[in-house]
Amino acid sequence: MGKKAEEILFFALALICSLVFACMHIRVSAIYAGALPANLQTGTAHLPYQYRVLIPYLVFVVSKVTPSFLSEATCSAVLISDSELCRVSADLDYSGVFWFFLLDILSIFFSVIVLRAILNRCFPGQRYNSYLPFLLFYVLVFHYIYAPAPRYYYPSDLPALLFFAVGIFLIYRNDLKMFYPVFIIATFNRETSLFLTFIYWFINEHRKDQLRYFVHTVIQLILWAMVKLYLFKIFKTNHGLGIHPNLLQNLELITDWNTWKVLAISFGGLWILLPFIYTRCTNGCIKNTLKVIGPFYGIMLCVGYLPELRIYAELSIPLMLGVAALLYSLLNTDQRHSQSGFQG
C-alpha cells in the first residue's frame, strides 16, 4: 500500500471510530440536573460545571444560525434519539444537539491525529506510529462507555482531551507562542489545563536555562488563576460550590473494595504497565510527562469523586506515549536521545 493510501486509510478509520465512539458516548450518558445543556449556555447551571463555559457558549452562538431540524436529524440518523441528551433537548425545544455531537467527534478525531504527531516527533520513522493512536479508543471506552453508572455527559470532557494533547505537542516543540493561547482557551473549557503547567515544569526543571522555564511556569500559573478568578466573579451567585472538598469522602471510598474494582478498569488496565514503562523508557521527554500522574491523582483525591473515571481521561495521552515508548524499547528501537521530541 502506498503512503498516500495509508494516510487516507488512517484518517478514514480515525473518523469512523470517532463517529462510533461519540455516538456510544451520548447513548449511554445521563444528564446531570445541575448541568443541563441549556442552563450551561445561559450561565445558570450549578458550580463548578458552569465554569466550563467554552463549549456551551460556542454551541449557543453557532446553534442560533443553525436550522433546528439538524439536531432532530442528527438524533435519528446516528441512532441516539433515545439518549437523555436528545430527550432533554426535545423538552426544551433546544437545537444544540447537532453541535455537541459534532464537537465530540472532532475532539476525539483530532486527539488521535495530534497523538500520532507527538509519536512521530518522539519516534520518527517508526512503523507503529500510525497504529498506536487507535489504542486511545480502547482506553477511553473504559472511562466513558463501560464506566460504572452514573455516566454523565459534560460538553467539556472530550474537548479537554484534545486540548491536553495539543498542549503536550506544543510543549514538546517548545512553541510558547502557540501554547499560551491554547492554554488560556483550554482553561475556559476545563480547569484541568493546570496539569499542562505541571508537564511543562517536569520536562524543563533540569535544563540549563532553568530560570527562564521557571518564569514561564509562574506566568502559566498566573494566567490560569486569572481565568479562574474571572469565572468565579461572573458566576459567584450560581448555586453550588466552586470547589468540591471531597477529600474526606474519597478517603472513606478508598476503604471500599468496590472503589478499587472500579479504578482497576481505568485505562483499560494499561496502568499496570507503568512500572515497566518507568524502568524501560529512555525517552526523557515522555518519562517526565508521566510524572503528571502523581499530582493529577493527588488533586483529584481532594476535589474529584474517586470512582468517576471520566475525570482521569486526559491522562490517557501521557499513558499512550508511555505505552509507545515501552513497545519501542522492547523492539530494541534506538532511543538514544533522552529528550527526543523536545525542541529547545
Exposure pattern of 103-133 as b/e (b: 16+ CB <10 Å)?
bbbbbbbbbbebbbbbbebbbeebeebbebb
The structure's pTM equals 0.92
| Mean pLDDT in residue range 301-315 | 92
Exposure pattern of 206-240 as b/e (b: 16+ CB <10 Å)?
eeeeeeebeebbeebeebbeebbeebeeebeebee
Tens-digit pLDDT profile for residues 85-134: 777 766 555 567 888 888 999 999 999 999 999 999 999 988 899 999 99
Q: What is the pLDDT of residue 86?
A: 73
Are 63 and 95 in contact by the 8 Å Cβ rule? The answer is yes
Tens-digit pLDDT profile for residues 250-296: 899 999 899 899 999 999 999 999 999 999 888 889 999 999 999 99
Are 192 and 292 in contact by the 8 Å Cβ rule? The answer is no
Residue 81 DSSP class: T
Residue 309's pLDDT band, with cuts at 50, 70 and 90, is very high
Residue 189's pLDDT band, with cuts at 50, 70 and 90, is very high
Q: What is the pLDDT of residue 77?
A: 67
- Determine the residue type at 61: V
CA 102 to chain centre: 16
pLDDT of 76 over the 90 cut = no
Residue bearing the bigger pLDDT, 175 or 5:
175
Q: What is the pLDDT of residue 219?
A: 97
| Cα 95 from Cα 48, distance rounded (Å) | 24
Tens-digit pLDDT profile for residues 228-251: 999 999 999 999 777 777 888 889
Distances (CA, A) of 66 to 37, 42, 80: 17, 18, 19
Average pLDDT value for the chain: 88
Tens-digit pLDDT profile for residues 195-231: 999 999 999 988 888 889 999 999 999 999 999 999 9
| Cα 315 from Cα 321, distance rounded (Å) | 10
